Amino acid sequence: MYSIKQLSQLFFVIGLVILCNYSSKAEEYQPVKEIAGRHFPWLVSSLKFSKLSGSDGKDVFELSTSSNQVNIAASNANAAAQGLGWYLKYYCKRSISHMGDHTAPSILPQIKEKVRIVSPYKHRYALNYCTISYTMSFYRWEDWQRELDWMALSGVNLMLAPVGMEAVWQNTLRKMGYSDQKIAEFICGPAFTAFLLMGNLEGWGGPVSQAMIDQQVVLQKKIINRMHELGIEPLIHGFYGVVPTSFGDEVKAEIIKQGKWQGFSRPDFLVPRDPVFAEMADIYYSEIKKLYGEDLRYFGGDPFHEGGSTKGIDVTAAASGIQKSMQKNFPGSTWVLQGWGENPSEALLKGVDKTKTLVIELFGENTNNWEKRNAYNGTPFIWSNVSNFGEKNGLYGKLQRFADEVYKAKNSTYGVYLAGVGIIPEGINNNPVAYDLMLELGWHDKHVNLQNWITGYQEYRYGKTTENTNKAWKILLETVYSSPKDYQEGSPESIFCARPATTILSVSSWGTRKRDYSVVAFKQAVQLFAAASNEFKGVETYEVDKIDFVRQVLTNEGDVVYTKMMDALIKKDPIAFKTESQKFEEMILMQDSLLSSSRYFSLNRWLQQASDFGKSTSDKALALKNAKIQITYWGPDTNPKTDLHEYAHKEWSGLLGSLYLDRWKSFVSYQLDVMAGKEVKVPDYFKMEKDWSERKDLFKSKKISEKELKNLIAKILK
């Protein structure tokens, strides 16, 4: 028999066990629940997460409701986050994005029958090395936290995460005998880190301070920790032979010079057969472990990316050596390669263990290398698309091709090698529809009907659809979001952003001004979309899209006026030239005013990020200069004809009304003087760009009023 005291103690222990067990169950996938807390607090108290067995090893989630409770059962945290995102999108009609949020409180929609969704793929991948520079150069923790929330809600479970690699390189080179000065000459500034990691250049935008290196370490630790919590595998930058151009002076080793990349000296290549390679790789990976832990399973790094010399190198043996060091330090890890151009080469693929290799088909919107190259000689691959280059503005995305090609690859002879789908844009602050569709394809087994999908997209992006928005999106799918077969690197470019000239085929070296769609039909779509304004008052996502669509209309019409300007020049008609030039300059100012109404099209937002990124006065100045150089002449400093100028140009308020307008005014003044028979110097646009980049101004635009915006849009769309 138990005494009353003993019974009380026993009941207390039993109660404590029950309470702990209940708490444990209640806190299943707690990090996912916290995403809802940050963006959809009205939903949190109704959420209940539970563990679900996988479906033959595949990610799966189930959705159901009971009274005022939303039940999300999932095989892991990542599937749980996608389940939350699915419920928000397709039941609550709510979402977040890089270009506006729609998070207003919603009634709690009931699900009639349990929904079960299984991903047919192992991987849903995200990010390009370039995204780290063109979008995320100056991200702080609050930015990364939001980014990871979006990734998780979108079902991403493998993501590039090369932040904080400066410290890994610093520690590695120190142990290889490098001085701090030599190390500083190697590490790039924050807006150009991606291009060091890809082996394109070294030192550009630097030198960075120790404080800046240290802050990135702290940031990366937070990023990786959160990724682990959300079931997102970090893709870390591995060691694949890149070394400073001064390496041969410091260390006796077999080095192959890699020549130039767009006017910059490429880092050298340390040949893997040299014993120094294994020594350095061991140091590099040990530094990764010290800083970021041992629970890392994916490593990137592409030898001879966009060029470089393989002279005297046994590429097959080199690939084997690179992977051998990776496996030694992180057994069972996967080497992730970029399928870009001719890379990875046949010779390189012969040297790897394909069971521990993954190829990302980057340029799926234009190429089908997965098919032409027999699934990269039988290597698991991810089908993805770039869609955006340099984070240039412009409406673009071959949506039908995304749906068709993924389905085609999945059901082809090489479907067994299709390991997943992904997005790999160079900049992600644009075209949310393209990224949403692509990532959602990772959860569809059947061919997606684009017309049906776009209706659902409108509902969760804006909260509802209307007759006008439905008609508008139907035309958008036939114009800016159509899938022409022509090769094209990103969206058609804006003439407003070009370095002035009499013949401009493209604004950036590899871009195009050609529109593969009817600009007349597109304008009709925008008129329909804008006509629905009264039904979407206060809906940020609708307002952002409306401004973006109207921006594109004005950009398209800028081409027409530019053509008239050039016709007047050919005819040597100063009056007509001056008239059309005035119209052109007025259009630039109109665009500047239009875009001032949204933070998503603001130069100040980018520059403020850069200024806030640094802690000291000198760090702020360095980051700010990096930000301005990247979006103008890019570099190097000594080459006015650099192919990289305007590569990352932006149709942004503040930039249009300053540098871009000033360049065109100089061009017009020069041409009028020439027609008047005066001897004048050709404007030095390169100097203008460099001088602009040295300015301390953050270019904070004055936002136009709601009435002014309404009148401006009406004027553009008339």
Question: What CATH number did the domain enclosing 269 receive?
Answer: 3.20.20.80
Pair 520, 560: CB distance under 8 Å: no
Which CATH number fits the domain that encloses residue 100? 3.30.379.10
Looking at residue 67, what is its pLDDT?
Answer: 87
Distance CA 359, CA 336 (A): 6
Identify the band that residue 10 occupies on the pLDDT scale cut at 50, 70 and 90.
very low
Q: Identify the residue whose tokens are 């790094």.
A: 301
Q: Does 228 share its domain with 143?
A: yes
457 in any annotated domain: no
Q: Does 30 share its domain with 144?
A: no
Q: What is the pTM of this model?
A: 0.95
Distance CA 507, CA 718 (A): 27
What six digits make up the tokens of 183?
A: 């190390």
Looking at residue 647, what is its pLDDT?
Answer: 98
* Number of structural domains the chain divides into: 3
Looking at residue 512, what is its pLDDT?
Answer: 95
Which CATH number fits the domain that encloses residue 510? 1.20.120.670
Comparing 53 with 13, the larger pLDDT belongs to 53
Identify the band that residue 1 occupies on the pLDDT scale cut at 50, 70 and 90.
very low
Helical pair 275-292 and 210-229, crossing angle rounded to 10 deg: 70
| Cα torsion 493, 494, 499, 504: sign | positive
657 in any annotated domain: yes
What residue type is 295 in one-letter code?
A: D
β-strands 233-237, 242-243 pairing: unpaired
Over the stretch 597-651, which tens digit does the pLDDT of each residue have?
999 999 999 999 999 998 999 999 999 999 999 999 999 999 999 999 999 999 9
Give the up-direction half-sphere exposure of residue 364: CA atoms within 13 A in the CB hemisphere.
Answer: 31
Is the per-residue pLDDT at 475 higher than 80? yes
Over the stretch 484-533, which tens digit does the pLDDT of each residue have?
998 999 999 999 999 999 999 999 999 999 999 999 999 999 999 999 99
E runs forming strands in 362-460: 381-385, 418-423
488 in any annotated domain: no
What six digits make up the tokens of 620?
A: 């702020």
415 in any annotated domain: yes
Looking at residue 22, what is its pLDDT?
Answer: 39
Residues paired with residue 369 on neighbouring β-strands, in sequence order: none
Looking at residue 704, what is its pLDDT?
Answer: 95
Q: Does 248 share its domain with 355?
A: yes
Give mean pLDDT, residues 201-218. 98
Looking at residue 244, what is its pLDDT?
Answer: 98
Under 8 Å CB-to-CB from 335, ≥6 apart: which residues? 238, 299, 300, 301, 322, 323, 326, 352, 356, 357, 358
Distance CA 656, CA 373 (A): 44
Looking at residue 14, what is its pLDDT?
Answer: 41
Residues of the domain holding 621: 495-717
Over the stretch 107-165, which tens digit does the pLDDT of each residue have?
999 999 999 999 999 999 999 999 999 999 999 999 999 999 999 999 999 999 999 99
Tell me how far apart the 2 most distant CA atoms of the chain are, in Å: 116
β-strands 357-361, 334-339 pairing: parallel
Q: Identify the residue whose tokens are 């065109």.
A: 664
SS3 679: coil
Single out the residue in 85, 101, 118 at which a domain terminates.
118
437 in any annotated domain: yes
Q: Find, among 110, 99, 92, the residue nearest to 460 by Cα.
A: 92
Q: Above pLDDT 90, what percent of the chain?
A: 94
Distance CA 201, CA 206 (A): 12
Single out the residue in 100, 118, 136 at which a domain terminates.
118
Give mean pLDDT, residues 463-482. 98
Looking at residue 16, what is its pLDDT?
Answer: 39
Q: Does 389 share its domain with 515?
A: no
Over the stretch 240-264, which tens digit does the pLDDT of each residue have?
999 999 999 999 999 999 999 999 9
Q: What is the DSSP code (8-state) at residue 571?
A: T
Q: Does 209 share its domain with 324?
A: yes
Give mean pLDDT, residues 473-480. 98
Give mean pLDDT, residues 682-710. 95
Pair 466, 535: CB distance under 8 Å: yes
455 in any annotated domain: no
Identify the band that residue 11 occupies on the pLDDT scale cut at 50, 70 and 90.
very low
Looking at residue 2, what is its pLDDT?
Answer: 44
Single out the residue in 385, 413, 447 at which a domain terminates.
447
Task: Round the average pLDDT of the chain to a whole number and report it.
Answer: 95
Pair 62, 115: CB distance under 8 Å: yes
CB atoms within 10 A of CB 679: 6
Looking at residue 56, what is its pLDDT?
Answer: 85
Looking at residue 618, what is its pLDDT?
Answer: 97
What residue type is 534 in one-letter code?
A: N
Distance CA 18, CA 12 (A): 10
β-strands 233-237, 298-300 pairing: parallel
545 in any annotated domain: yes
182 in any annotated domain: yes
Q: Above pLDDT 70, what percent of the chain?
A: 96
Over the stretch 172-188, which tens digit does the pLDDT of each residue have?
999 999 999 999 999 99
Q: Does 301 share its domain with 386?
A: yes
- Euclidean distance between the first and the last CA atom of the chain, given in angstroms as a whole number: 91
Q: Which burial class, exposed, middle or buried, applies to 395 when counting CB atoms under 10 A from its CB (0-12, 13-18, 19+)?
A: buried
Q: Does 600 share its domain with 518?
A: yes
Distance CA 394, CA 406 (A): 24
Report, in angstroms and rounded to the nearest whole number, the Rg of the chain calculated over CA atoms: 27
Q: Does 411 share its domain with 276?
A: yes
Distance CA 177, CA 251 (A): 8
Under 8 Å CB-to-CB from 193, ≥6 apart: which residues? 132, 133, 137, 162, 165, 166
Looking at residue 6, what is its pLDDT?
Answer: 47
Q: Does 68 share its domain with 127?
A: no
Pair 606, 701: CB distance under 8 Å: no
Give the up-direction half-sphere exposure of residue 117: CA atoms within 13 A in the CB hemisphere.
Answer: 23
Q: Does 432 share its domain with 503?
A: no
Q: Does 421 share its domain with 384?
A: yes
Q: Find, among 465, 616, 463, the residue nearest to 529 by Cα.
A: 465
Is the per-residue pLDDT at 24 higher than 80? no
Over the stretch 388-426, which tens digit does the pLDDT of each residue have?
999 999 999 999 999 999 999 999 999 999 999 999 999
DSSP characters over 299-346: EE--TTTTS---TT--HHHHHHHHHHHHHHHSTT-EEEEEEBTTBSPH
Is the per-residue pLDDT at 5 higher than 80? no
SS3 89: helix
Q: Does 68 share its domain with 168?
A: no
